[in-house]
């Protein structure tokens, strides 16, 4: 390319820099040559000038150059004449800006897969900004339901594309676009939402083409407005009137800023809609506890959200789930009577003969009896764990040998023994506290030696220490004698240790537990173990079973002479990574270390959510690796015993923060956003010591 004075004739006040300072600029079509021109003032030695950029065609064979001026010409800050490096830096900065602009345009580009638009954290807002209606699917690549739904969703996209006007159909990978998933409260896959003028509407119908298209078209109508909330809003002005008038009502005390409350809100509203259709309707209400402070104080609200059931104004604890169907099922069950009336003596006799759990019967003159209402209130508080009955029959009262106003508790005949009373009776007075009835029921729930089963373990056998005798337990007619033979041996010992809970259990029902105790290959028909507080387990050495060997075993435990059995993987030889590996044998030394805060993740190797969390958790470990007083740890809960029962694991992954000095009260991580930001925030909120690195010390 020849350097000529043509640009000077077109722009007399400019000059052309040497060819060596020209720089090629590429576009999609061709390569251009960039020349820098500046003001004539720069001819004076040391005088600053401004640079003007011109684009000229590389082919100048026709004679003079035709400069293509950028409109307007890009100007760069004043440069000293002769500052070639400054000029080159200015050019490079200009190139970088152009590249960034191109990258930004690429990021905002919306791609399409099989007719479905692909949105992400970067392009979402830009895309939906001018759209009236958009159909969204939040999915996970590994989700089976999502894969099954994909062909149907593509058909929906094709149909709505032909709509007048077309309605865009998009999908979002919720596992990679976590900010969007969090913003729209996505907790399961696939989640379908319809965006109407930027506001999300939950789709609650079936995942069929016809139903989804019909709903989208309905919402896309110009005059469509969202239906009003079904959830009642309560304040100090209407609270008592509404609550006192309701046979049953669920009330949520919330805070507008609370993350858990925001997560609950859509599920709560869905449940309210569903329960409004129930016969009779069951109302759901909410109270802003930050605004209605007197109401919050009146009902002892100390955390958010707090849910309470009210029956004619009387509060009861809500212990149910916090998602739509769980709330619906729980409230329907709670709306029924807490106690069932027994009309005939034959029913009581059948309970005694064939029952499998404690029998609770309240005996009253009539429903107007003050003791009856007291009994009903107590039954409402315990209805999830017990079956309550009541009677007004004088025949039944005579059979039970009690007068009206009494509460009677009995064990089925198969659990009765000469070492314990046949019945336990309580006199219910109108002035009696409801808590006294509750305490009485809890005290007399179990027989001296009961039958522990998977179905009653969580509700009946949580007290520790628990002495369990494993064998082939079968109370059916043909095998009852053999079952009772071994149970009688246990009864002889149980009477001497009233501070412990005793039970028999079928070895097949608890095969995994027996294996973990190392007793599955004992060679004995009857084995025994003690499950202690803190999750510790002790196995009796295999021997011919009788009451004497069991008594010796329990006595040795009481004196602290037994060593616990711990299921554990091998202790890692090298455990210096950012995330410490905890096994059964090191749980106490690492997690329960009183001098350190510990964040512990309990995972399962096969768990998809755990695999997804792994890189985030490793990054978290690296972030806090230098902090002397904090340990980031993980444990395979399928291969190791958790030797403290305060760390309950009911799903994977489960994360706890174990604060130094208070290991018996771990704090469970319940935020659905398991990303680096939220996990870090969780740590900082609960850290008991300043997070100083070793370099700081």
CB 352 within 8 A of CB 410: yes
pLDDT at 85: 56
**Token pair 């009539």 in the structure block, residue:** 366
Distance between CA 319 and CA 383 in Å, rounded?
11
For strands 527-531 and 537-539, give the pairing.
Answer: antiparallel
Spell out where 325-399 has E strands.
Answer: 339-341, 359-363, 388-391
In whole numbers, what is the pLDDT of the chain averaged over residues?
A: 86
CA angle 91, 95, 96 (to 5 degrees): 120
Mean pLDDT (whole number) for 580-591: 96
Where residue 45 falls among pLDDT bands split at 50, 70, 90?
very low
pLDDT at 61: 42
pLDDT at 93: 63
* Catalytic hit among 71, 143, 146, 261: 261
523: left (phi over 0), alpha (psi -120 to 50) or beta: left
Where residue 86 falls among pLDDT bands split at 50, 70, 90?
low
Distance between CA 675 and CA 669 in Å, rounded?
12
Sequence-distant (6+) residues with CB within 8 A of 623 are 676, 680
Residue of 515, 482, 497 lying closest to 552 (CA atoms): 497
Distance between CA 354 and CA 350 in Å, rounded?
6
Q: CATH class for domain 339-443?
A: alpha beta
Distance between CA 112 and CA 672 in Å, rounded?
29
3-state secondary structure of 450: strand
Sequence-distant (6+) residues with CB within 8 A of 182 are 672, 673
**7: DSSP letter:** H
Model pLDDT for residues 437-484, shown as the tens digit of each residue: 999 999 999 999 999 999 999 999 999 999 999 999 999 999 999 999
Residue of 224, 227, 203 lying closest to 215 (CA atoms): 203
Return the minimum-mean-pLDDT range out of 60-69, 191-200, 596-605: 60-69
Q: Which fold has domain 111-220?
A: Glutaredoxin (3.40.30)
Model pLDDT for residues 125-134, shown as the tens digit of each residue: 999 999 999 9
Widest pairwise Cα distance in the chain: 125
What phi, psi does 299 have (nearest 5°)? -110, 20
- CB count, 10 Å around CB of 488? 13
Model pLDDT for residues 311-356, shown as the tens digit of each residue: 999 999 999 999 999 999 999 999 999 999 999 999 999 999 999 9
Number of H helices, E strands in the chain: 21, 33
pLDDT at 178: 86
Q: What is the pTM of this model?
A: 0.63
> What is the second-level CATH architecture of the domain 449-558?
3-Layer(aba) Sandwich (3.40)
CB 172 within 8 A of CB 139: yes
pLDDT at 106: 59
**74: DSSP letter:** P
Mean pLDDT (whole number) for 530-555: 94
The reply to whether 261 belongs to the active site is yes
Where residue 616 falls among pLDDT bands split at 50, 70, 90?
very high
pLDDT at 96: 63
Does residue 688 or residue 79 have the better pLDDT? 688
Does residue 84 or residue 280 have the better pLDDT? 280
For the segment(s) 232-335, the CATH number from 3.40.30.10, 3.20.20.100, 3.40.50.970, 3.10.20.30 is: 3.40.30.10
Q: Is residue 292 scored above 80 in pLDDT?
A: yes
**Token pair 């628990």 in the structure block, residue:** 466
Tokens of 137: 């699917």
* Catalytic hit among 71, 143, 146, 258: 258
For strands 537-539 and 406-410, give the pairing.
Answer: unpaired
pLDDT at 4: 43
**Token pair 């070639």 in the structure block, residue:** 84
Sequence-distant (6+) residues with CB within 8 A of 557 are 465, 530, 532, 538
For the segment(s) 580-686, the CATH number from 1.20.120.1780, 3.30.910.10, 3.40.50.620, 3.40.30.10 is: 3.40.30.10
pLDDT at 278: 94
Strand partners, 633: 580, 600
Where residue 99 falls among pLDDT bands split at 50, 70, 90?
low
The reply to whether 146 belongs to the active site is no
CB 144 within 8 A of CB 207: no
Residue 422 Cα to chain centre, angstroms? 45
The reply to whether 610 belongs to the active site is yes
Q: Is residue 71 scored above 70 in pLDDT?
A: no
3-state secondary structure of 397: helix
Return the minimum-mean-pLDDT range out of 21-35, 236-250, 460-474, 646-660: 21-35
Where residue 589 falls among pLDDT bands split at 50, 70, 90?
very high
Q: Is residue 192 scored above 80 in pLDDT?
A: yes
Model pLDDT for residues 645-694, shown as the tens digit of each residue: 889 998 899 999 999 989 989 999 987 789 999 999 999 999 986 655 44
Which part of the chain is CATH 3.40.30.10? 111-220, 232-335, 339-443, 449-558, 580-686
Q: Is residue 372 scored above 50 in pLDDT?
A: yes
Tokens of 4: 């000529």
The reply to whether 607 belongs to the active site is yes
Distance between CA 136 and CA 118 in Å, rounded?
10
Helix axes 209-220, 144-161, angle to 10 degrees: 50
């Amino acid at each position: 390319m020849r350097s000529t004075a043509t640009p000077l004739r077109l722009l007399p006040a400019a000059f052309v820099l040497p060819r060596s300072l020209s720089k090629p600029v590429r576009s999609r079509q061709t390569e251009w040559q960039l020349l820098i021109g500046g003001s004539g003032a720069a001819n004076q030695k040391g005088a600053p000038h401004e640079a003007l950029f011109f684009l000229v065609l590389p082919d100048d064979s026709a004679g003079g150059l035709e400069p293509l001026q950028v409109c307007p010409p890009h100007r760069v800050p004043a440069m000293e004449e002769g500052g070639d490096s400054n000029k080159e830096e200015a050019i490079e900065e200009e190139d970088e800006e152009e590249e960034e602009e191109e990258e930004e345009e690429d990021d905002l580009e919306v791609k399409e897969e099989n007719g479905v638009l692909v949105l992400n954290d970067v392009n979402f807002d830009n895309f939906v900004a001018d759209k009236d209606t958009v159909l969204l699917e939040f999915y996970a690549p590994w989700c089976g339901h999502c894969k099954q739904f994909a062909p149907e969703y593509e058909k929906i996209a094709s149909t709505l594309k032909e709509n007048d006007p077309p309605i865009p159909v998009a999908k979002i990978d919720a596992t990679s676009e976590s900010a969007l998933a969090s913003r729209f409260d996505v907790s399961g896959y696939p989640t379908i939402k319809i965006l109407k003028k930027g506001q999300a509407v939950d789709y609650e119908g079936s995942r069929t083409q016809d139903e989804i298209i019909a709903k989208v078209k309905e919402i896309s109508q110009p005059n469509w407005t969202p239906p009003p909330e079904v959830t009642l809003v309560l304040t100090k002005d209407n609270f008592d009137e509404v609550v006192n008038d309701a046979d049953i009502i669920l009330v949520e005390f919330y805070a507008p800023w609370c993350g858990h409350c925001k997560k609950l809100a859509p599920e709560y509203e869905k449940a309210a809609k569903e329960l409004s259709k129930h016969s009779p309707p069951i109302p759901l209400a909410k109270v802003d506890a930050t605004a209605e402070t007197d109401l919050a104080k009146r009902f002892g609200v100390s955390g958010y959200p707090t849910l309470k059931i009210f029956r004619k104004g009387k509060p009861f604890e809500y212990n149910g789930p916090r998602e739509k169907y769980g709330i619906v099922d729980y409230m329907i069950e709670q709306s029924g009577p807490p106690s069932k009336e027994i009309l005939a003596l034959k029913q009581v006799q059948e309970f005694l003969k064939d029952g499998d759990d404690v029998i609770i019967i309240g005996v009253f003159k009539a429903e107007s009896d003050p003791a009856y209402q007291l009994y009903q209130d107590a039954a409402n508080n315990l209805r999830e764990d017990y079956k309550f009955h009541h009677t007004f029959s004088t025949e039944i009262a005579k059979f039970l040998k009690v007068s009206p106003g009494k509460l009677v508790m009995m064990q089925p005949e198969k659990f009765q023994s000469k070492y314990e009373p046949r019945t336990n009776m309580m006199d219910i007075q109108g002035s009696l506290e409801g808590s006294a009835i509750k305490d009485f029921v809890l005290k007399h729930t179990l027989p001296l030696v009961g039958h522990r089963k998977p179905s009653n373990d969580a509700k009946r056998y949580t007290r520790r220490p628990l002495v369990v005798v494993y064998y082939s337990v079968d109370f059916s007619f043909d095998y009852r004698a053999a079952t009772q033979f071994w149970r009688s041996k246990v009864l002889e010992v149980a009477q001497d240790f009233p501070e412990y809970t005793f039970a028999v259990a079928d070895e097949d029902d608890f095969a995994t537990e027996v294996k973990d105790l190392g007793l599955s290959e004992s060679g004995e028909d009857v084995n025994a173990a003690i499950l202690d507080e803190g999750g510790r387990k002790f196995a009796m050495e295999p021997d011919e079973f009788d009451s004497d060997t069991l008594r010796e075993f329990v006595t040795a435990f009481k004196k602290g002479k037994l060593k616990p059995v711990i299921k554990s993987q091998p202790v890692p030889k090298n455990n210096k990574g950012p995330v410490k590996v905890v096994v059964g044998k090191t749980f106490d030394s690492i997690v329960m270390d009183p001098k350190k805060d510990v964040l512990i993740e309990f995972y399962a190797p096969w768990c998809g959510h755990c695999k997804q969390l792994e890189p985030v958790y490793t990054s978290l470990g690296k972030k806090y690796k230098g902090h002397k007083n904090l340990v980031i740890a993980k444990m395979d809960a399928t291969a190791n015993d958790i030797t403290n029962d305060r760390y309950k694991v009911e799903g994977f992954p489960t994360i706890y923060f174990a604060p130094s000095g208070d290991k018996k009260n771990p704090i469970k991580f319940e935020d659905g956003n398991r990303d680096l930001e939220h996990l870090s925030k969780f740590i900082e909120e609960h850290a008991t010591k300043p997070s100083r690195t070793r370099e700081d010390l």
